[in-house]
Amino acid sequence: MFTLLLSGWSGIGLYRVYHLLRKKRLLFDDHFTLVICMSITMLASFLFSMYTILLFPDLYAASLLLGIWIGWKFGALLRTPAQLTGLYNGAMGGAMGTMFGAVLQNPALCRIPVESAAAVDLYSIPFVAACFYSCVLLSIRHSLRL
């Protein structure tokens, strides 16, 4: 339930930034396009593939494909050379998020000692990641105004 709320929050933020970038996509230079594409694609695909693994523990391939799809959409939004960056970073973030979600669900994969395996809960790290992600989205919206 908590994961569902977090994913809804992140999804709404991502959708609003997508529309904002779509409205203003003719204003960017190359450097800005590269940075925006890299940072937002990596974080968003990481977070959403982690949520997918936490919600549906069996869909490994689907979460990886979700990361690649996010990268593809953002790259296609901005410019053609940015599409390569977006695709690469989306695949990277998707693979990392899948791994992280699997470790959070089953801490014995990572040989965390048994006494502290109860201390690894499913909620605190995704919550911190979602807070950081919304801070990055805010700073991207701020950097559009500079």
Question: Of 7 and 137, which CB lies nearer to other proteins in the complex structure?
Answer: 137
- Which is closer to other proteins, CB of 6 or CB of 43? 43
Instruction: Report yes or no: 25 and 70 within 8 Å, Cβ to Cβ.
Output: no
Distance of CA 126 to CAs 14, 27, 58, 146, Å? 16, 34, 19, 30
- Shortest distance, position 145 Cβ to other proteins, whole Å: 11
- Nearer of residues 58 and 145 to other proteins, judged by Cβ: 145
| Opening angle at CA 39, ends 17 and 142, nearest 5 | 50
**Scanning the structure block, which residue is given the tokens 């391939």?**
61
DSSP letter (8 states) at residue 122: S
Q: How far is the CB of 40 from other proteins (least distance, A)?
A: 8
Q: Which residues bind other proteins (CB under 8 A)?
A: 31-32, 35-36, 38-39, 42-43, 46, 93, 96, 99-100, 103, 107, 110-113, 115-116, 119-121, 124-125, 128-129, 132, 136, 139-140, 143, 146
> Whole-number minimum distance, CB 122 to other proteins, in Å?
10
CA nearest neighbour of 133 among 45, 33, 19, 5: 45
Closest CB 126 distance from other proteins, rounded Å = 10
